[in-house]
């Protein structure tokens, strides 16, 4: 597997992006504005992430996904490490991510990788998504914001 920048001449990995964000409108928006990277294995895209600059020194990881049949193999962690490396190479000091209050596995994943909770945006998902989202039997209403200080906490 190799991680590479997505080429705009190839079809976007929409199916993967929609695994992490069910809004086609939002996915299209940040795909056009951000830096997209894909994990490629034998010519097949099995993972993706998108970085979106939000300030001169901060970038947001707006999407990260691994194909369902490849999950549990450490690909997500490799993508996250690459996202941090790419962010640092582009001159960013901080990488942030937002995830749903019901995304228990994702919250654990980010914290295990050194991200820290910095805030909660109440009712974010009820304001930005037409349909209710349920995960783990929990109504996803609030967005949990996490941050990683690239300069203080290099990911091993």
* Token pair listed for 28: 């299209």
Instruction: Name the CATH code of domain 2-149 (choices 3.40.50.720, 3.40.630.30, 3.30.1370.60, 1.10.540.10).
Output: 3.40.630.30
Tokens of 63: 């999407």
Q: What local confidence, expressed as pLDDT, does residue 22 receive?
A: 87
For residue 154, what pLDDT band results from cuts at 50, 70 and 90?
Answer: low
Per-residue model confidence (pLDDT) at position 155: 59
Q: What is the pTM of this model?
A: 0.89
Q: Over 90: is that where the pLDDT of 57 sits? A: yes
Check whether 100 has a pLDDT greater than 90: yes
Quick one: pLDDT at residue 83?
97
């Amino acid at each position: 597997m190799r991680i590479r920048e997505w080429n705009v001449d190839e079809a976007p990995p929409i199916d993967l992006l929609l695994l992490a964000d069910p809004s086609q409108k939002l996915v299209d928006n940040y795909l056009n504005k951000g830096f997209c990277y894909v994990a490629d294995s034998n010519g097949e895209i099995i993972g993706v992430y998108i970085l979106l600059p939000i300030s001169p020194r901060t970038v947001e990881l707006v999407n990260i996904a691994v194909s369902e049949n490849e999950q549990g193999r450490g690909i997500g962690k490799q993508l996250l490490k690459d996202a941090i490396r790419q962010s640092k190479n582009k001159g960013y000091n901080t990488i942030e991510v937002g995830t749903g209050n019901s995304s228990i596995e994702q919250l654990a994943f980010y914290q295990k990788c050194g991200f820290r909770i910095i805030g909660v945006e109440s009712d974010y998902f009820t304001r930005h998504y037409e349909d209710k989202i349920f995960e783990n039997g929990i109504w996803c209403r609030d967005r949990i914001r996490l941050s990683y200080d690239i300069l203080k906490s290099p990911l091993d």
